[in-house]
Structure 1
């Protein structure tokens, strides 16, 4: 993974304080309210923002990724049961005890949005939810198999020295660590943002909208339930950032990497402003503006996933001539994970993702088709181009534009 770190504070301060005017919920009066330059909201002198649960889950994912890194670096056998316990947060698996006692876990939030998998729209099913969770659990077993001391080769799970970094590859060439990390960015973070917490079905469910309008606080809290749902979506993007060390993680980091390209250099500002503007609109009971910001966030976050998918496929393609193709597999595994995330995107104004489950499954199967998956390098380049072209075309950019993002 290529990492670019940006000063979060500088980015936020560069966005000027804005004022919005919009009709209230009844459409009778115009209300004025300010959009703050940072994601700071208070009531009676105390913060109303809480996304601690999201931060905990992102920290859990960090810890899971570190299990693969440690096994690969130290040449030790990866313990798949440790990863299983981390995924479900059972048997106190984390070194940070606050995570063990948090009551949070990643498994229950994997492919678990109400809109796509359980209640509202019927776009998915609980059967699919279980299948997706099982797929990620299979990456624990694959990682353990790859750590048994074999050198990675066609049809053989094992370790590969990529420059100074040791990596673990499955028999088909995929890197289970990256499939897990990038895949859960989609199946947990993207799904919960676009199809759960920013779903109108969730935000306006039951009495939530009435309570927000009347500023009825959630139990033992300084926020309304609607405010909190919005904060939780925000937390899945920015909840692991460390402004002190200028460190961005997961979606926040990739938003900035995509934004660094001139073809996509409005993505970061649009997402950040939409989160702040939507939250301010919720406080002001301006639900029309709230919903407009939901569309902006969904569209831009999906674009980031698409651009990174294409970028990594093309980066991998450029490295296929090295080490019998193995040099390419880290990038291709990241691309594979980002393609998985496309299933959890949401087209604004619709109840559907930019790519259906069936389309995503077909693209993934194309990449790993053949006797030994990615190791079939003689036939891999045209597959990479075809999938990259399909994604770019759907989102309205060119493969060349996405390939220049670093």
Structure 2
């Protein structure tokens, strides 16, 4: 299902109201291989996300430094190192030379930086046993007094606050963009489309059948929400659908086929959101059968992070505001209390909210 229209010749008869007749025929390539693509800023920010959140996770085994957190967040003082960002689409040495940062493009940046700072502060207790009301280590996980891993709230929450926020803003802007080509440069519409693709976090030759975790792990691999297309979005075929929609939409923009472009936007929005929902549903369901508290709290922390990400879902989402509020209420319950309920009453309710809104998300 990777590319049902890859390489196919599409015959079109519609017209654009603002650009004249649509080119009758055009080809959708099998990869995101288009002229003059420049989405460096988007791909680099996803690399920054990967490096920053990986560094936060190290707080489970050593004390973190608040200055480093600030430098990574703002991309100052050459904070990215080979350890933090050594095998990414943009490595540490390239990231350190850029003038962009996470701080400027994350929605609710103060909130997510506070989660990150909380993880830094929590790392002081990496050798302290955790207990109800006491922050520390449980298994190989570092949790706060209620059982939450702050690094998971950041890593998964930013898939919404960084990725979805920017992808949707760019795609919402595309229909009103200028699509006039100039020599040697993409049109404004093409540029915004390319940036949106960069934030998705998949390589231009993305293959849903390839196992990107096989050694040697490629630097240009799916990251952020792109990484979850295969991990939790496989059942709904999110990766193939989104990748195909991006390729089709970009080709359609070149041919001034705006109807097809708009269909692609709808597909991208639907399946990026459903990927986050599928991930949240998976972790909330898995947590119900986990007796080991470290594993249960990890699942709940991931689920909470994905719920945070869904705040930035598309307008008109199938997940209502009332349903979303209830999900947050459940996952802001202390995890020790959720774990104490042998019937998993609240967690079953949360899982039901997802299936009611989105239908079946996992096999």
| Aligned with residue 169 of structure 1, among 143, 156, 172 | 143
Write the deviation string for residues 74-114 of structure 1: whole angstroms up to 9, x where unpaired: xx211233223222223332222321221111122112xxx
Task: Work out the CA distance in 2 between the residues paired with 1:50 and 1:56.
Answer: 11
TM-score by length of 1: 0.76
Give the whole-Å Cα distance in 2 for the aligned partners of 1:28 and 1:283.
13
Alpha-carbon distance between aligned partners in 1 of 2:152 and 2:203, rounded to the nearest angstrom: 18
1:251 aligns to what? 225
CA contact (8 A) 2:167 2:196 kept: yes
Distance of 1:288 and 1:66 partners within structure 2: 40
Secondary structure at the counterpart of residue 232 of structure 1: helix
Equivalent in the alignment of 1:133: 109
The question of whether the paired residues in 2 share the 8 Å contact of 1:24 and 1:31 is answered with no
TM-score (norm 2): 0.84
Aligned to 1:375: 336
Structure 1 gap segments, 5+ residues each:
1-10, 43-47, 112-131
Match of 2:122 in 1: 146
2:12 maps to 1:54: no
1:20 to 6, 10, 13: 10
The answer as to whether partners of 2:277 and 2:310 remain within 8 angstroms in 1 is: yes
Q: How many residues align?
A: 335
Write 1 or 2 for the structure with the bigger share of helix. Answer: 1
Q: Give me the whole-angstrom Cα distance separating, in 2, the residues matched to 1:270 and 1:14.
A: 9
Distance 1:19 1:259, change over 3 A: farther
* 2:15–2:21 contact (8 Å) kept in structure 1: yes
Establish whether residue 289 from structure 1 lines up as the match of residue 280 from structure 2.
Answer: no
Please state how far the C-alpha of 1:393 moved relative to its aligned partner.
0.5
Where does residue 6 of structure 1 map in the other structure?
Answer: none
SS at match of 2:104: helix
Q: What secondary structure sits across from 2:335 in the alignment?
A: helix
**Counterpart Cα distance in 2 of 1:105 and 1:99:** 9
Matches within 5 A, 1:390-405: 390-397=353-360, 402=362, 404=363
Q: Which residue of 1 aligns with 2:69?
A: 83
TM superposition shift of 1:359: 4.4
Query: 1:31 aligned to 2:24?
Result: yes
Note if contact 2:115-2:154 (Cα within 8 Å) is conserved in structure 1. Answer: yes
**What is the rounded CA distance, in whole Å, between the counterparts of 2:23 and 2:202 in structure 1?**
33
C-alpha distance 61-283 of structure 1, shift in aligned 2 (>3 A): same
1:119 aligns with none
CA distance in 2, matches of 1:104, 1:239: 20
Q: Deviations over 1:203-259 (max 9, x none)?
A: 244xx32xx1x3136xxx521121111011111113578978454322222112245
Q: Is the contact made by 2:202 and 2:227 (CA closer than 8 Å) also made in structure 1?
A: no
8 Å CA contact 2:136–2:143 kept in 1: the answer is yes
Matched, 1:70 2:58: yes
Please give the alpha-carbon distance, in whole angstroms, between the structure 1 residues aligned to 2:271 and 2:49: 23
Give the Cα separation in 1 of the matches to 2:118 and 2:269.
33
Q: Distance in 2 between matches of 1:287 and 1:13?
A: 20
Gaps of at least 5 residues in structure 2 are 82-91, 207-211
SS of the residue corresponding to residue 50 of structure 1 reads coil
Q: Check the 8 A contact 1:240/1:249 in 2, yes or no.
A: no
Cα distance 1:362–1:138, how it changes in 2: closer, same or farther (>3 A)?
Answer: farther
* Partners of 1:274 and 1:297 within 8 A in 2: yes
Shift, 1:135, TM fit: 1.8
User: CA 1:54–1:250 in 2, change beyond 3 Å: closer, same or farther?
Assistant: same
- Counterparts of 2:21 and 2:117, CA distance in 1: 59
1:223-372 aligned at under 5 Å gives the runs 223-239=186-202, 245=217, 247-261=221-235, 264=236, 266-319=237-290, 321-322=291-292, 325-346=293-314, 351-355=315-319, 359-369=323-333
Q: d(CA) in 1 for partners of 2:323 and 2:74?
A: 29
Matched residue, 1:104: 100
Gap change, CA 1:285 and 1:274, over 3 Å in 2: same
The CA distance in 1 between the partners of 2:77 and 2:217, in whole Å, is 32
Say whether the 8 Å CA contact 1:13–1:38 is kept in structure 2. Answer: no
Change (3 A) 1:99 1:239: farther
RMSD, aligned α-carbons: 2.5
Aligned-pair CA distance for 1:356: 5.4
